[in-house]
Structure formats: structure tokens, C-alpha cells
Structure 1
Amino acid sequence: MIRNDEEPVGLGAFDRVTWALRRAELAVQTLKEQRLRPLGMAPAHYTLLMSVHSEPGLAGAELARRLNVTPQAVASLVARLESRGQLERRAHPRHRHVQELHLTDAGREALRAADQVIADIERHITEGLGPDESAQLRTLLDQVSKTVRDA
């Protein structure tokens, strides 16, 4: 039982950088979900299509590691996008049990439409911040990424 004078979090917990990052992430994610929904797409679909676009031939297991999700989650997304004709699996040239992922023409078209939505969200954010603050935010976020990786 917690006494009234015991706090479950430290003072200033809601002022932490990590909490601000999470709030920003949730706000952006919510907007992405709202704006991508009319396209029949979720942010996870966009992320997967972008990843395969940037590195055609990725295997599901490698994609899961890069996206920091389970292989089962990637398999489910891949199956959904494959059923829509947006992704195809191809046999790996040297490893017969590995299948590479590739965008189809329909996948490239879906990605193009979704990327326009994401670019509009980006414009909204950067216009709200202005060019100097946008550049500063990108620099700071890169520094956060590096600091966390180095921890």
C-alpha cells in the first residue's frame, strides 16, 4: 500500500526529455493513423513498405530486427501486404529457406500515396516550428539517438 506522502515517480517525472519524446511520438503516430486510414493503411504498413523500398530483398527476420518488432509481427504484416498485392516474396539466391521481400507495382503505388500523406504531416510540423527550429530539432534528435546507442 502506498502512503499519501510516497510518490510512485520522482519529482519532475513529467518534465523529463524521455516523457516529452514519448508525447511527441504519440501525437505524430495518432496523426499518421488518422491520415493513413483513408488509404486503408496503418503506420506499420508504411514503415514496412519504406524499409523494403530502401533495401529490396530484405528477409523477414532482418526486417524484424531493424524495426524492433517480433518476427511474428513482421510475418503478419507481410502476409497482409502480400494479400493486397503490395509485396512479394522471392527465393533467396543462395539460402533456400530464406525469402526476400520486394515491392510490387501496387506496393510502390501504395507507398507513393502514403508518403504524400507523411510528407504533408512533415510540412505541418516544420511549418509550425520554422526552418531554424526544424533543423535544430533534427540535430538534437540525432544526438539523442547517438547518445542512446552509445549508452
Structure 2
Amino acid sequence: MRQAEMLGPVENAVGYVLKQAAVALRNAMDVGLRPLGLTVPQYACLELLGQRPGLSNAELARGAFVTRQSMNVVLRGLEDRGLVTRPAASPRGRELPTELTETGRDHLRAASVAIRRVQEKMCAGLTLAQQEALLGALEACVRSLAESP
């Protein structure tokens, strides 16, 4: 393998540093959500339902970056805790639209505050312009990878 084909030092590889950031973010989110008895997928589910009530299991799974099977487990746990409700029978097809309960909205508010603190800490060394540039750059990366075969 020629030198030009090699990745080079991992510390200078965008993908490697991005993965480091993702792991650090996930760990910080875990710590922030632990006092609320929530996991990151549970929080993601609550946040998605807070913004888009009535999402199906499949839509929630895509939005939370988990499998449909994992989302079923997440939803059952949230339902058992009284944080979400789902109809016993599907109003259309096989979809069971999920909604937050009042207790779920209370948990979401507290969790959103905790996650906002994590985000503020993560971005503390960045100006607003740098945060916007970072967001734009990451969106461009996502688009480029989505377009690749």
C-alpha cells in the first residue's frame, strides 16, 4: 500500500475524531439522563414524540437510530412507566401511533434540560458561527455518504 493511500494518523482522521466525539457525547448524555431513569434511546423516543406526536414504531426507530425490535422494547418500557400510550388496536394497517402522557411530557421537559446542558458543555469552546459551520459541515458529510453507492 502506498503512503498516499493510507489514512495517516488517526488523530487527524475526520471519521476517527467524529467517532470520539460521538462516544463522548453518548457518555455525557448517559450521565445526564441517569438521574431521570432514562436511557439515550428512551430520551430520543420522548423527544421525537414531543415534537411529532403519533409517530409509529418504525418512524421512532429510524429517528432514534435503533432497530424496530429495539424500539419495541423501548416503547414497552416507557409504556409500563406511564410515559407513553399506544392504542390496543391499530387505526390503520399495523401502525400503533404513540403519544406522550402528561407524565411523559414532564419527563421530557426534565430530560431536555439535561441534554441541553450537555450540548452547551460540548459547544462551550465554539462561537455561534463555529457551531453553525460545524452543523453545516456534518450535514454535508451525511449527504455525501447518503449519495455514495
TM-score, scaled to structure 2: 0.85
Matching of residues 99-138 of structure 1 within 5 Å: 99-138=96-135
Q: What aligned pairs does 1:54-65 form with structure 2 within 5 A after superposition?
A: 54-65=51-62
Q: Could you tell me which of 20, 27, 31 is aligned with 1:30? A: 27
Number of residue equivalences = 141
**CA shift for structure 1 position 13:** 5.4
Identity rate, percent:
32
State whether structure 2 residue 79 is matched by structure 1 residue 75: no
Q: Tell me which structure has the larger Cα radius of gyration.
A: 1
Q: What is the CA distance between 1:67 and its match in structure 2?
A: 3.2
User: Please, what TM-score do these two structures have when normalized by structure 1?
Assistant: 0.84
Answering whether residue 56 of structure 2 is matched by residue 52 of structure 1, we say: no
- Contact kept? 2:41, 2:64, Cα under 8 Å: no
* Cα shift readout 1:64-101 (whole Å, capped 9, x = no counterpart): 23434222100110011001100100244333x43111
Superposition RMSD in Å = 1.6
CA distance in 1, matches of 2:121, 2:62: 31
1:100 alignment partner, SS class: coil
The unaligned stretches of length 5 or more in structure 1 are 1-9
State the shift of 1:105 in Å: 0.6
In 1, Cα distance between equivalents of 2:114 and 2:65: 24
Could you tell which deviates more after superposition, 80-89 or 49-58? 49-58
Off by >3 Å, runs of 4+ in structure 1: 65-68
SS at match of 2:123: helix
Q: Deviations over 1:40-84 (max 9, x none)?
A: 111111111112222211121332234342221001100110011
1:12 paired residue number: 8
What is the distance in 1 between the residues matched to 2:92 and 2:133?
45
